[in-house]
């Protein structure tokens, strides 16, 4: 079955036909060529595919594309400003060693963004809790926590990037 849906993607209005069984991950990666959202497991267990749907971090591998209709979707591609400058979270992940192989990074950053958008003063425990569904095999998580901590102040000043 094909359905026509409309949604906001990184600030742009999108209208397209989708197959009802497609996941949002499939729509983004395979149909729209947005490769920044990664598939790490396809089962909602690793968080590499995290995107933000109406302010909530979700695993796009478990989220049907049809459910995106009339929603506001943010992906990693929408974080940097159009002038090329990185979102404070992206910059702090870069500066604090939060990125090694980088496969988990888009998901990590999106989960962090959802957290800080909602709770700009999140403490260590809240950060750990928000990232509990995002697996990283390279960093031991410590530089990732440091990245989010360092970004907190900047994000508050920046009010979370261009989509808000």
Partner 1 sequence: MTNSNKDLTRDFSVVGKPIPKLDAAQKAMGRAEYIQDIKMPGMLYGKILYSKFAHANIIKIDTSKAKALPGVYAVLTGEDVPKKMKMGFYKDNPPIKKGKVCSFRDEVAAVAAKTPEIAKKALDLIEIEYEELEGVFDPEKAMEKDSPLVHEYHKSNVLKLPWSLHYGDVEKARKDAAFVVEGRFSTTWVTHCCMGTSGALAIFDANDNLTIYSNTQIPSLAQKDFLEALKTMGLSNKRVRVIKPIIGGGFGSKLDTYAYEHIAILLAHTCRKPVKIVFDRQEEFTATSTRQPTIIDIEQGCDKDGKLLFRDIKMILDNGAHTSWGATTPSVMMMPITSLYRVENVRYDAKCVYTNNTYSQAMRGYGNPQATFAIESNIDMLAQKAGIDPIEFRRINRNHPGDITPQDFKITSCGLDLCLDAAEKQLRKNYSKEKGVGIGVASLIHVGGGARIYKSDGCGALLKMDDYAKVDIFTGGTDMGQGLDNITAQIVAEELGLLVEDINVVHSDTDVCPWDVGAHASRSTFVAGNAALGAAKKVKKKILEFGSKILDAPPEDLVLKDRLIFVPNDPEKSMPLDKLLRKAHFSPGGTMLMADHFYDPANENMGKDFKGNMSMTYTFGVHGVKVKVDEETGKVEVLEYVAAHDVGQAINPLLLEGQVYGGVVMGLGYALSEEVVHKNGKNMNANFRDYKLFTAKDAVKITAPVLETPDKDGPFGAKGIGEPGCVPTAPAVANAIYDAIGVRIKDLPITPEKVLAAIKKRDE
Q: Tell me which residues touch partner 1 (CB under 8 A).
A: 34-43, 45-46, 48, 75-77, 79-80, 86, 90-91, 93-97, 99-106, 109, 127-129, 131-145
Q: How far is the CB of 135 from partner 1 (least distance, A)?
A: 6
Q: How far is the CB of 140 from partner 1 (least distance, A)?
A: 3
* Distance of alpha carbon 7 from alpha carbon 14, whole angstroms: 5
Query: How many other CB atoms sit within 10 Å of the CB of residue 35?
Result: 12
Q: How far is the CB of 7 from partner 1 (least distance, A)?
A: 19
Question: 72-74 and 2-9: which strand pairing?
Answer: parallel
Burial of 8: CB neighbours in 10 Å, binned 0-12, 13-18, 19+: middle
Nearer to partner 1, 15 or 83 (CB): 83
Nearer to partner 1, 8 or 138 (CB): 138
């Amino acid at each position: 079955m094909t359905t026509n849906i409309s949604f906001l993607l990184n600030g742009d209005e999108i209208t397209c036909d989708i197959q009802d069984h497609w996941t949002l991950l499939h729509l983004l990666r395979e149909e729209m060529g947005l490769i920044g959202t990664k598939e790490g497991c396809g089962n909602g267990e690793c968080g590499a595919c995290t995107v933000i749907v109406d302010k909530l971090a979700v695993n796009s591998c478990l989220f049907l594309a049809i459910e995106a209709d009339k929603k506001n979707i943010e992906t990693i591609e929408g974080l940097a400003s159009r002038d090329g400058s990185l979102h404070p979270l992206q910059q702090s992940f870069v500066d604090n060693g939060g990125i090694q192989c980088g496969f988990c990074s888009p998901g990590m950053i999106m989960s962090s963004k959802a957290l800080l958008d909602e709770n700009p003063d999140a403490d260590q425990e809240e950060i750990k809790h928000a990232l509990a569904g995002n697996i990283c095999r390279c960093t031991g998580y410590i530089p990732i926590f440091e990245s989010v901590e360092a970004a907190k102040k900047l994000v508050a000043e920046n009010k979370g990037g261009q989509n808000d």
